[in-house]
Amino acid sequence: MTAEGAFVITGGTIHDPATGRDGVVDDVFVDGGRIVAPPADPRGFARVDARGLVVMPGGVDLHSHVAGPKVCAGRRIAPHLARGPDRAIAAVPTIHATGALYAALGYTTVFDAAIACAAAEIAHLELAELPILDKGIFLLAADRGDVLESLARDDARGLERLLHASLDAGRGWAVKVANPGGPAFWKHGRRGDHHDLDAALPGRGSLTPRLVLERLAEAVGALGLPHPLHVHTANLGLPGNWRTMLETMRSLAGRRAHLAHVQFHSYSGGDLDEGSFGSAVAPLVEFFNAHDTLTLDVGQILFGDTVAMTGDAAAAEHLAAATGVPWMAHDLHLEGGCGVLPIAYRDTSVIHAWQWAIGLEWFLCARDPWRVALSTDHPNGAHFTAYPHLMRLLGDEPFRREALSRLPPAVRDRSPLKDITREYTLQELCIVTRAAPARIAGLPQKGHLGVGADADITIYRPDRDLARMFAMPAKVFKQGILVAEDGHLRSTPAGRTLAAVER
Ligand SMILES: [Zn+2]
């Protein structure tokens, strides 16, 4: 007995790292929006012929920015920016276009990684209009005064109660901290981006950013949330900030923690380093490789025009001052805020070229792809529609080498990238775009094609040009519904909201 909508994808080449299938030909049975075991009697299952095609789980974007006040500000500050062959894709698309573009790319789940607790309701109203994808938000709960107070008192139970209440009220999936303690420095008229992890927060006794990180990670672990503390550490974007990143990892090692957009936190240079701006990935990735409770997303930059938006208002202010562009600062009812500004990444800029090379160095030197999620920190480093280009950079060494050869000599000749020959396999690309982010996010029903998984499935045409292959799946299913085919939307079912606290 099968429900309407039961079908079998036959003869496809399966890439499903979670079940250990690496390019094996197999059938995938779907019934009731989920993947099911092969039935004794397959009559009644419609057939979808996938011979010669590649079958993967739907993509999961663990760190993106698609909703809330910062995204609206991004649309206002840069309405002229667009990308794509005919510049048809806005740098910050409408909520409807965001869902349609993600789905056409084979993605079926997205998280907005920075929503202030006070903006959660607005964000959910917007996300209710995001078609197709399942979606969740990470709450900036550590910006709240009461949370800071319990952190300062080292009141672990009180902290857990407050975080749980925030997640419940804001229907959040995870707790995010952006520049730990940064808003406290910012609001006391001090540069929020120039403190280290051991500077005491103004008005909070002996509380330091390091203690904020440690106590939050502990509380998130004690609450048993699906995703560990999501950490955007201090000094984002600043020369010499690799020291802060290393200290952050040292503080969190031994606990589960997720390090966001590490590319933006891996720079040498500044007053403490003798050399000029450059890559400090080597000591960081060495520590990361040796500490398996830590996970990361890269926040790759790609060349072009985009919009930066961050819960770290101080970083936005610094960047706007450095580049001479107008910026917007939100102050959300005394609860942290957000900085938004347009940004143009140029391959003629030594700084931008370093950022590009540093992101790729992280991808290629992190040994375990299961602890790595592919991201551009959309739209901060690049638009999510550039993921296929990024996947080609990872999986096609000659293509990457050619791109590196066009960069300024300071980067071309000094970046460790010039000596790295690793190419991501299809299986590894599958891991960093779906299997790993699903596992890191804590979504047992996502990122794989095993029995019981949501029938979120993407079918690609194999192509030596990986960018072309991943840019236009032949078919995309969301919970068993065909939503996109060859770049065309076929239906727009509503996605579900992923909330950590059951109601
Ligand atoms: Zn981000």
> In sequence order, what DSSP letters do the residues of 231-271 get, joined into one string?
EE-SSTT-TTTHHHHHHHHHHHTTS-EEE--GGGG-EE-SS
CA 102 to centroid of ligand 1, rounded, Å: 17
Q: What is the dihedral of CA 399, 465, 489, 136, to 10 degrees?
A: -50
CA 385 to centroid of ligand 1, rounded, Å: 16
CA 48 to centroid of ligand 1, rounded, Å: 37
Task: Please name each of the domains of the chain with its CATH number.
Answer: 7-57+446-489 (2.30.40.10), 59-441 (3.20.20)
**Other Cβ atoms closer than 10 A to 229:** 28
CA 158 to centroid of ligand 1, rounded, Å: 28
Residues forming a β-bridge with 424? none
CA 376 to centroid of ligand 1, rounded, Å: 8
Using DSSP's 3-state secondary structure scheme, residue 77 falls into helix
Angstrom distance (rounded) from CA 503 to CA 171 = 9
Angstrom distance (rounded) from CA 273 to CA 207 = 28
Q: What pTM did the predictor assign? A: 0.95
CA 65 to centroid of ligand 1, rounded, Å: 6
CA 501 to centroid of ligand 1, rounded, Å: 23
CA 21 to centroid of ligand 1, rounded, Å: 32
**Other Cβ atoms closer than 10 A to 292:** 12
CA 275 to centroid of ligand 1, rounded, Å: 28
CA 193 to centroid of ligand 1, rounded, Å: 16
CA 4 to centroid of ligand 1, rounded, Å: 40
CA 480 to centroid of ligand 1, rounded, Å: 30
Print pLDDT tens along the chain (503 aa): 445 689 999 999 999 999 999 999 999 999 999 999 999 999 999 999 999 999 999 999 999 999 988 888 888 887 777 777 677 788 888 999 999 999 999 999 999 999 999 899 999 999 999 999 999 999 999 989 999 999 999 999 999 999 999 999 999 999 999 999 888 887 776 555 567 899 999 889 999 999 999 999 999 999 999 999 999 999 999 999 999 999 999 999 999 999 999 999 999 998 766 668 999 999 999 999 999 999 999 999 999 989 888 777 778 888 888 888 878 776 654 556 677 888 899 999 999 999 999 999 999 999 999 999 999 999 999 999 999 999 999 999 999 999 999 999 999 999 999 999 999 999 999 999 999 999 999 999 999 999 999 999 999 999 999 999 999 999 999 999 999 999 999 999 999 999 999 88
CA 377 to centroid of ligand 1, rounded, Å: 5
Using DSSP's 3-state secondary structure scheme, residue 276 falls into coil
CA 114 to centroid of ligand 1, rounded, Å: 7
